[in-house]
Amino acid sequence: MMPENTYAAIDIGETYAKLVIGTVYKEQFKLCGAFMTPSNGINNGEVNSRGEIQKTVLELLDKAQRVGFGITKLIVVLPSTNLDIHRRKAKSNVLSSSQIINEKDLDTLKRATADYQLGSNEMVVGIYPIMYYLDGATVGREDPIGMKMLNSIQLDAFVISLPQLLARPIVDAIQDMEIELLDVIPAPMALANAITTVAERQNGVTVVDIGGKYNNASLYYRNLFCAYKQGTCGGSIISKQLQDSLKADKQQAELVKKKYGSALASEASDLGVYYNKETGDTVKEKSIVEVVEENIATIAAEIKSNVELLSKTAMQGTIVIAGGVSNTVDIKQKLSESLGRDVNVRRLDVIGATDASFYPGIGAIMYYIREHGKKIEVDLIND
């Protein structure tokens, strides 16, 4: 069984799946457990095997069970491949004769916001109110349950969707395992809740996630997830280029990337640091770092373009980056120079989360706790 006020979030990506267990103690996030396993069943933004997804989930639940966490409820973090954000409006009448707005009225209104305005190939994963209107008068963003009206209620909202072929099979696969889904949260929103503050999301912040396969940028303003742009390249392009140039296998290339990825070519030596037994070649440290820098520049250029495309307003807010490649000195420097603004790298080492892969799971739990009326923060390290 799970201890009281302890929650589990599962983040299923194309390469790895992660399980995070956390709780709140004195309004601070406390990490109780973090587990990872190779992920199967998702390829190029589509689920090709629900059975493989269930197998992956079971592996993670088994790892948690071995250390005393019996998980029957999950918060699910969904991959952001081809995520879309729509601004939609809907209008309806209050159903009760008393003309007092209740939860059923709002459910009907929110469904109308999405159901009749999105394509059949999209699955709605979140509806986030921008403004409610009663009889044409503005009443704010909070759900107006209990308010009285004469004629109609209108909702202006951001509707977040994912492709049906990606989101629906993941949700169905987990529900078929008789696991209760507490919430479903898109990965960018989950990450933002882990590495940015409430004040930043209110005043404007752009979060850049540099993963293995892709990079993406998401904009938050007035505590709303209101813009998103996905890139085409991530840290894997560095590994692939190192494989080719070093004539190494994938595992060797990854090790070299981790060892020399944060170095600068201007400070690298001409000493031979990598020896290929098969070819007999010795590669200089400077040559390796130059390969990394060249690909970092490619990633940084795409991120710059994506950030600028989100919104002119977004350019005035804070920029926060996370993900494996964010730990390289060069990408922070290149982004800061090209955008003409400070770029912050956020880490959660204080709570024991030294691997950025677990940040979305942590953020999903924090988001869920906040949505249920509790305060929760986490100690952030700013690099």
Per residue in 287-314, pLDDT (tens digit) is: 777 888 888 888 888 888 888 887 665 5
The whole-angstrom separation of Cα 236 and Cα 231 is 13
Q: Is the dihedral of CA 164, 322, 369, 354 positive or negative?
A: positive
pTM of the model: 0.87
3 state SS for 36-63: EEECCCEECCEECCHHHHHHHHHHHHHH
CB 167 within 8 Å of CB 125: yes
- Average pLDDT over the chain, rounded to an integer: 86
High-pLDDT (> 70) share of the chain, %:
92
Q: Is 379 helix (H, G, I), strand (E, B) or coil?
A: coil
Q: Is the dihedral of CA 317, 323, 325, 326 positive or negative?
A: positive
CB 260 within 8 Å of CB 327: no
Q: DSSP code of 141?
A: S
Ranges of the chain with pLDDT below 70: 94-97, 116-118, 260-270, 272-275, 311-316, 327-329
| Res 254: pLDDT | 75
| Res 294: pLDDT | 83
For 4-36, give the DSSP string.
TTEEEEEEE-SSEEEEEEEEEETTEEEEEEEEE
| Res 336: pLDDT | 84
| Res 251: pLDDT | 77
In which residue are the tokens 């918060």 written? Answer: 75
